Amino acid sequence: MTLSISVLPPKVASAKTRAYPLTTPLKSRRMTVPNFITLLRFLMVPALVYALLLGEMRPAFVIFVIAGISDGVDGFVARHYNQQSELGAYLDPIADKLLLVSVFVMLAILGFLPHWLVVLVVSRDVLIVMAVLLSSIMARPVDMNPIFISKANTAVQIALVSVVLAELAFNIGLGGLTTVLVYGVAALTVVSAAAYLRLWADHMAKPG
């Protein structure tokens, strides 16, 4: 049985509609250098989680920074050296989301982030996935293209994780900044979830 789902995660949809112009079609059947870089980022996730479990905060911070740099590098190589691929368009956002969610969950378990914030962040992502899957099951596929508020949300999430890991790694006090980022993530998560819900509802309300 083959299940065909045409709905893509936000970054995937964006990559297919904007990052890859028609003059450089996606090469869906070959591994590229950016693909290998993305796969390495997948491997960094268990390494980062393990470092956090051991309380090795400096290695955890370094791994997170390297993962962030690798995200920029694979995008640069893909765009400037004609190494775009459909596989990469799927792997890249999955790797990014897996990394962020894993770190958020671990920091909450270890007591460095409020549990309610992590529940909010994860619930938003789960609801978006459920919405796009439901639209596909109902033969009303929708491309949830990234919107500004969602990009801002991701940026603030990365900033929050970076600040918390830096505090733990270098024993510095950034409590005030951390508090601002925590509530910033919470507000942007709610607003972006509402924005996507409205887009999804408008799409589903249109005549088939």
User: pLDDT (tens digit, 9 = 90+) per residue, 39-76?
Assistant: 999 999 999 999 999 999 999 999 999 999 998 898 88
pLDDT tops 50 at residue 2? no
The first and second tokens of residue 69, run together, are 């740099």
Tell me, yes or no, whether 78 lies in a domain: yes
Q: What are phi and psi of 85, to 5 degrees?
A: -150, 150
If one counts every other C-beta atom within 10 angstroms of the C-beta of residue 111, the result is 8
Tell me, yes or no, whether 2 lies in a domain: no
- CATH number for the domain spanning 83: value is 1.20.120.1760
Q: What integer pLDDT is reported at residue 92 of this predicted model?
A: 86
* Alpha-carbon gap, residue 165 to 170, rounded angstroms: 8
Domain membership of residue 74 as a residue range: 10-20+29-205
Tell me, yes or no, whether 4 lies in a domain: no
Tell me, yes or no, whether 3 lies in a domain: no
pTM, rounded to two decimals: 0.80
Tell me, yes or no, whether 137 lies in a domain: yes
Q: What are 162-198's pLDDT values in tens digits? A: 999 999 999 988 879 999 999 999 999 999 999 999 9
Q: What integer pLDDT is reported at residue 144 of this predicted model?
A: 65
If one counts every other C-beta atom within 10 angstroms of the C-beta of residue 107, the result is 21
**What is the number of structural domains in the chain?**
1
Residue 111 · residue 34 · CB < 8 Å: no
Tell me, yes or no, whether 45 lies in a domain: yes
Comparing CA positions, the residue from 18, 9, 15 lying closest to residue 86 is 15
